[in-house]
């Protein structure tokens, strides 16, 4: 969760007692990384710099929106045990990737991420195998830049022959970032928040053939890409559900529900979503109750 420092954080900064932290260009207290923002990576750097435990706790409370009453309205109620799973962090937010951009005519129907039906409100893109990483970046929302401009694109498909960093853009989108006659051009891209997640919770789609004895479930409308999905078993333990390269989490042990899910994104942010029913209708989109922080 990235936050610019607001007035509500003043008391936190005072309590933490880190006003002597070096000022960066925007003069943002608690900015240990120098990117003019306060986020989980500042917390990690603060811990590595030796900041004492109590001050780290206060800083974490601010970042997670607990303790000082400052929270994002669209996140919903954050449990007391809400944590940042640093082992799941793929990269810092805003990381820039580079590669070659090409174009093709697929992805809206039958893409490898199995996100059908894909809204034509989005430009779509296929991603190389290395970055797609067994569906970790399925449904990622990207800002893609070429010589002619920048557009936002949804990852719905695979580019098996591409090298790390490469993207295969939808044919009508390519001319917006480069002359079509070039066919292959340098591009840069970064992951950005999915716009439809701004005012709506995550949602779920159950795979065809789902029963209480075997199920496949897909998380959709997540603000950032998903790296882990767990369900709460009858012993009160969260159990990880195996993800398939075609972007469904599958299990033979979950039962008939309803379920409590714990979902972790590629930035280590965790949300817990309760009372999610099992559905045997593979066309139904089930609304959740929470969304990832900004």
Point out the least confidently predicted range of 26-30, 123-127, 134-138, 173-177.
26-30
For residue 86, the model assigns a pLDDT of 73
For residue 64, the model assigns a pLDDT of 55
> For residue 279, with 0-12 CB atoms within 10 Å meaning exposed, 13-18 middle and 19 or more buried, which class applies?
middle
For residue 89, the model assigns a pLDDT of 84
For residue 38, the model assigns a pLDDT of 65
182-211 average pLDDT score: 96
Which residues 6+ apart lie within 8 Å of 32 measured at CB? 21, 41, 42, 45, 46, 49
202-225 average pLDDT score: 96
Strand order in the sheet with 215-220: 242-243, 249-251, 215-220, 203-206, 285-287
If you count them, how many residues does the chain have? Answer: 294
**Cα–Cα–Cα angle for 226, 244, 197, nearest 5°?**
25
Alpha-helical runs (H) found in the chain: 10-16, 40-48, 53-64, 129-132
Domain with CATH 2.60.40.760 in the chain: 199-287
- Choosing among 3.30.70.260, 3.20.20.100, 3.10.520.10, 2.40.40.10, the CATH entry for 97-196 is 2.40.40.10
**CATH placement of domain 199-287:** 2.60.40.760
Q: In 3D, which of 147, 94, 151, 149 has the Cα closest to residue 125?
A: 151
Query: Does the pTM exceed 0.95?
Result: no
Tokens, residue 174: 């390519």
Domain with CATH 2.40.40.10 in the chain: 97-196
């Amino acid at each position: 969760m990235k936050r610019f420092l607001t007035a509500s954080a003043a008391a936190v900064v005072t309590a933490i007692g880190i006003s002597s932290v070096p000022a960066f260009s925007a003069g943002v207290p608690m900015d240990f990384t120098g990117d003019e923002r306060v986020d989980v990576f500042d917390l990690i750097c603060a811990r590595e710099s030796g900041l004492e435990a109590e001050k780290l706790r206060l800083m974490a409370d601010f970042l997670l929106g607990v303790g000082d009453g400052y929270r994002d309205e669209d996140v919903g109620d954050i449990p007391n045990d809400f944590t940042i799973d640093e082992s799941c962090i793929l990269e810092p937010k805003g990381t820039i990737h580079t590669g070659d951009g090409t174009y093709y005519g697929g992805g809206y129907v039958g893409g490898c991420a199995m996100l059908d039906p894909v809204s034509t409100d989005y430009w779509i893109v296929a991603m190389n195998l290395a970055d797609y990483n067994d569906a970790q970046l399925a449904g990622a929302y990207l800002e893609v830049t070429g010589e002619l401009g920048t557009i936002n694109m949804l990852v719905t498909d695979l580019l098996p022959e591409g090298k790390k960093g490469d993207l295969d853009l939808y044919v009508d989108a390519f001319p917006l970032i480069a002359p079509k006659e070039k066919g292959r051009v340098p591009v840069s891209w970064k992951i950005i928040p999915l716009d439809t997640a701004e005012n709506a919770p995550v949602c779920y789609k159950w795979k065809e053939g789902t029963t209480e004895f075997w199920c496949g479930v897909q998380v959709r409308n997540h603000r950032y890409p998903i790296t882990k999905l767990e369900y709460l078993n009858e012993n009160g333990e969260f159990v990880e559900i195996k993800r398939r390269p075609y972007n469904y989490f599958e299990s033979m042990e979950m039962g008939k529900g309803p379920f409590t899910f714990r979902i972790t994104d590629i930035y280590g942010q965790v949300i817990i979503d309760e009372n999610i029913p099992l559905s045997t209708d593979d066309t139904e989109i089930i609304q959740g109750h929470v969304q990832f922080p900004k």
